[in-house]
Amino acid sequence: MENSVKIYKFRSRKTDYNLKPWDYRTYQGEYVGLFLLIFFVMVVFFNWTSTHLGGVSLYERLKDGELQKILEVIFSSSLVAIFSSIKLVKPVQLTKISDVSEHFYYSDSKVANDEFHKDQQKKYVIDFKNQPKNSLFIVRPEDCKDKEDFYKPIQFNDNASILSWLIIGIAGSGKSVLLNRMYQEILSNGHKLIVHAPDSKARDMIVSSGYPCYVSAPWTTSSIYIDLAKTLDVDDMNLKNGLIDLVITSFFGYVDPNSSDAFFQNGAKFILTASLKKLCHKMPGQWTLEDWKNELISKSEIWQFKDLVDTYMPEAGFTISEDAEKMTASIIASIVPTLVSIGRLSNYYKQCRKAIDIRKWCLDQDKKQAIILCSDPQYEEVSKISIALFVNLITKFLLSSDREKVFNKNGVRVYQALDEYPNFGRNIDNNAWVTIINEGRKFGNSAIIVVQNTLQMVSIMKSQNAKHDAQKFIGSFHNQIMCQPSSEDGDHINKIIGEITWDDKEAQQTTDQSTGKTSVSYQHKARKEQIGFKRLQNDLGFEITTNSDGSKQKHGLNVAVRLFESKVTARLFIPFLNEFAKPYRDKFRDKIVNRDGKEFIKQGSKLTPLFYDEKVISITKRQEEYDYTERELKIKMDRLAKIDKDNIKEREKLEYEIEELQQLKLELGEEYLLEEGDSLTESLGDIALHNIDHTGLTSTLVQGLEIADSLTTQEFGKGEINVNMAGEEEVRKPSLFKKKKQYEMGD
């Protein structure tokens, strides 16, 4: 918004009754008084100069008739006095926020900045020269040098900085301007950061800064991912069951126990939980998402699902019944969307570069400072579940006793900054995650979530009292930041800023009937003002000035900030960040080299990229056809097993179709293996092809293809990665033996 406040200049106090108490004005008397004072000071100064340097005082010059010298002094003094009085007289108002007001809101960014820091200094240290540990120095003095007068340093005290933050603002209101500076400060203070970046800007900004980080964008080959099998392979059964529940929530979402379909939804979760427990029991630390998918689709009869649940979740066995086929069928049908998601994510995870141990990262055994969670509308479901897996599982480890010990030892905090939280909030266990806010401080945890409006939070609460639950969730955050708000945020604005009580000094004109002279008297009067979304939409947003040529220039963003334990909501100006983490990049700037427009850090013969390789994983038509053929083959083989032996005609027809599908699968499988480009994989495929029997699918084939698949998926990307510095594409070479990496992509 353009900073333009109307000022009534050079007023007579007798005309104050024409203005409102909150109007800005300057008075004639102040100009005249300052003019006379400065004029007198300048005359004294010239007299002293004339006496000590010229040997003759002004008085003696006057007696001698040197009028020209006297006029020069008068003229010079007058010019200085006029210029100084114009600069020194500041507009005033005849109103101020009453001391009894429940809330304090300052809309003038310069006044607000002063009041904001004065309020913090009542309890905490604010030091622009020696930054207190853990405080967030959002705008530094050097950012304000030689800039417009609305550029002011901003610091959040060290207590508020480690608490939770809620940032609200409509799309396009500039929330990222503040977020970028918060990211910079968190990393600069040596803390760890988990970021959800809804677009590539934040990702590219952090990666290019040089801070060591991981990037999760599972639709790209350079992405990291969580190895769920190893993460769930723990000895503590309470921890294991808790982690399994969080994995299920990440895929399935939260089930409201009071909803009309809660029975069927819970039944589906019980089946998913039982199948995951079976994999953890039968294949500890070894299973994949593909195994999980196959475990579920291998069951075609109700009794198979019942046996699964009775064995691994006997307490939920009553939900699956062969006597209630329709009910059970509805429960089983409820797992289908999740099954599809498991399959999709599996296809991408197979080709992602590296699995990380999130427990080690949470316990500071992994020195990567940031994890960047990406999303993309084109891969909405996959990104939503992947983000939820990270957020849910990390929460478990961030609230562990081991995490508390590590934090007490090294003081390194973990900040979660989750932009566009409602996009994946339905898949987050919010009851568990809110513990990060309520109890996370002693474990060294802090959280920042960003939403467009409060109604978005209502939409992710799956309960009959969704609005109440959303308000409770929002109320858990200690610090509140508001960019331009939505018209739906009236209730939230009332709680944060609310009603302001002003102490107005009202001017009233009175006339003396006997003399006819008029005079002005003043009286104090309390005034209530409700700060609504329209006022904030006008006050907040981008700061714009007009250049001499008439063009407009954006400088940054105005936001409203209210810190924990404060009654002050201040409109603060946050300038754009020209270069993210500049002090950190300066440390190795001389080692940065540019190759084909991309930056690398050169350390000896090794080049570490300062960018993220966005090569997208493509599921080829050949792979898709192979999957369809494999499924169709399994269905026909299951059908053949159920047909009576006496039904020769039907059996012969199915056997012929199965033989054709087997041959097609082998042809597609051979080409698929060749596409992977690994000689060992090709050899295993050839061995399998030479050992088929009358069914066309011997155990040797199955074992061979399973080994081949494991080499092209689980170990994919762990071998050597070479870079042709002439600009050719990177070549990925899976290997049985892990070799030294010459080129690391975000690892």
> How do residues 516-530 score in pLDDT, each as one tens digit?
788 888 889 999 999
* Distance from C-alpha of 553 to C-alpha of 669, rounded to nearest angstrom: 60
List pLDDT tens digits, range 301-340.
889 899 999 999 999 888 888 888 888 888 988 999 999 9
Stretch 672-679: mean pLDDT:
43
- 632 with 640: CB under 8 angstroms? no
Residue holding tokens 């609230």?
399
* Distance from C-alpha of 687 to C-alpha of 697, rounded to nearest angstrom: 12
State the DSSP H helix or E strand holding residue 526, giving kind and residue range, or none if neither: strand 518-530
Q: What are phi and psi of 71, to 5 degrees?
A: -65, -35
- 331 with 267: CB under 8 angstroms? yes
Angle among Cα 513, 518, 521 to the nearest 5 degrees reads: 110
* Distance from C-alpha of 687 to C-alpha of 75, rounded to nearest angstrom: 106
Stretch 238-249: mean pLDDT:
95
Lowest mean pLDDT among 500-504, 545-549, 677-681: 677-681
* Distance from C-alpha of 524 to C-alpha of 527, rounded to nearest angstrom: 10
Mark residue 444 as left, alpha or beta (left: phi above 0; alpha: psi -120 to 50; beta: remaining): left
Closest CA to 460 of 527, 388, 560: 388
What is the total residue count of the chain? Answer: 747
CA distances for 436 relative to 9, 162, 481, 561, angstroms? 53, 12, 19, 22
State the DSSP H helix or E strand holding residue 121, giving kind and residue range, or none if neither: helix 109-121
pLDDT of residue 698: 34
Task: Render 614-662 in DSSP notation, one character per residue.
Answer: -PBP---HHHHHHHHHHHHHHHHHHHHHHS-TT-HHHHHHHHHHHHHHH
3-state secondary structure of 415: strand
Question: What are the structure tokens assigned to 94, written together?
Answer: 């005849």
- 421 with 449: CB under 8 angstroms? yes
Residue 107's contacts (CB-CB under 8 Å, 6 or more residues apart) are 535, 539, 571
Closest CA to 394 of 422, 358, 432: 358
Closest CA to 365 of 418, 402, 399: 402
Is 50 exceeded by the pLDDT of residue 689?
A: no
Stretch 198-213: mean pLDDT:
93
Q: What are phi and psi of 532, to 5 degrees?
A: -110, 180
pLDDT of residue 709: 43
Closest CA to 693 of 706, 702, 685, 680: 702
Buried b (16+ CB within 10 A) or exposed e, 259-284: eeeeebbbbbbbbbbbbbbbbbeeee
Is 50 exceeded by the pLDDT of residue 168?
A: yes
CA distances for 385 relative to 163, 198, 358, 665, angstroms? 27, 14, 16, 31
Q: Which amino acid is at 129?
A: K
- 25 with 91: CB under 8 angstroms? yes
Question: What are the structure tokens assigned to 639, written together?
Answer: 């059908």
**DSSP-derived pairing of the beta strands 479-482 and 354-356:** unpaired
* Distance from C-alpha of 61 to C-alpha of 73, rounded to nearest angstrom: 11
* Distance from C-alpha of 545 to C-alpha of 575, rounded to nearest angstrom: 13
3-state secondary structure of 412: coil
pLDDT of residue 670: 56
Is 50 exceeded by the pLDDT of residue 710?
A: no
Is 90 exceeded by the pLDDT of residue 712?
A: no
> pLDDT grade, residue 746 (50/70/90)?
very low
Q: What is the dihedral of CA 285, 291, 297, 302, to 10 degrees?
A: -20
Question: What are the structure tokens assigned to 313, written together?
Answer: 């979740």
Stretch 700-705: mean pLDDT:
37
More confidently predicted of 258 and 243? 243
Stretch 731-746: mean pLDDT:
38
Strand partners, 529: 500
Q: How far, rounded to the nearest angstrom, does the alpha carbon of residue 612 sit from its chain's CA centroid?
A: 18
Question: Domain 224-351 belongs to what topology?
Answer: Helicase, Ruva Protein; domain 3 (1.10.8)
State the DSSP H helix or E strand holding residue 215, giving kind and residue range, or none if neither: strand 213-216
What proportion of the chain, given as a percentage, has pLDDT over 90? 54
Stretch 103-111: mean pLDDT:
91
More confidently predicted of 409 and 622? 409
Lowest mean pLDDT among 14-23, 69-78, 454-463, 736-745: 736-745
pLDDT of residue 467: 85
Task: Render 233-289 in DSSP notation, one character per residue.
Answer: --S-HHHHHHHHHHHHHHHH----TTSTTHHHHHHHHHHHHHHHHHHHHHSTTT--H
Question: What are the structure tokens assigned to 74, written together?
Answer: 């008068």
Domain ranges of the chain: 24-92, 224-351, 621-713
Is 50 exceeded by the pLDDT of residue 699?
A: no
3-state secondary structure of 571: strand
**DSSP-derived pairing of the beta strands 165-168 and 445-451:** parallel
What proportion of the chain, given as a percentage, has pLDDT over 70? 89
* Distance from C-alpha of 9 to C-alpha of 554, rounded to nearest angstrom: 28
* Distance from C-alpha of 722 to C-alpha of 740, rounded to nearest angstrom: 10
- 158 with 579: CB under 8 angstroms? no
Task: Render 427-496 in DSSP notation, one character per residue.
Answer: GS-HHHHHHHHHTGGGGTEEEEEEES-HHHHHHH--STTHHHHHHHHHTT-SEEEESSPPGGGHHHHHHH
Is 90 exceeded by the pLDDT of residue 3?
A: no
The pTM (predicted TM-score) of the whole model is 0.80
List pLDDT tens digits, range 490-523.
888 988 888 999 999 988 888 877 777 888 888 8
For the chain, helix (H) and strand (E) counts, in that order, are: 28, 25
> pLDDT grade, residue 714 (50/70/90)?
very low
- 742 with 606: CB under 8 angstroms? yes
**DSSP-derived pairing of the beta strands 552-562 and 568-575:** antiparallel
Closest CA to 617 of 225, 223, 220: 220
Q: How far apart are the first and last CA of the chain?
A: 42
Q: Rounded mean pLDDT of the chain? A: 84
Buried b (16+ CB within 10 A) or exposed e, 688-723: bbeeeeeebbeebbeebbebbbbbbbbebbbbbbeb
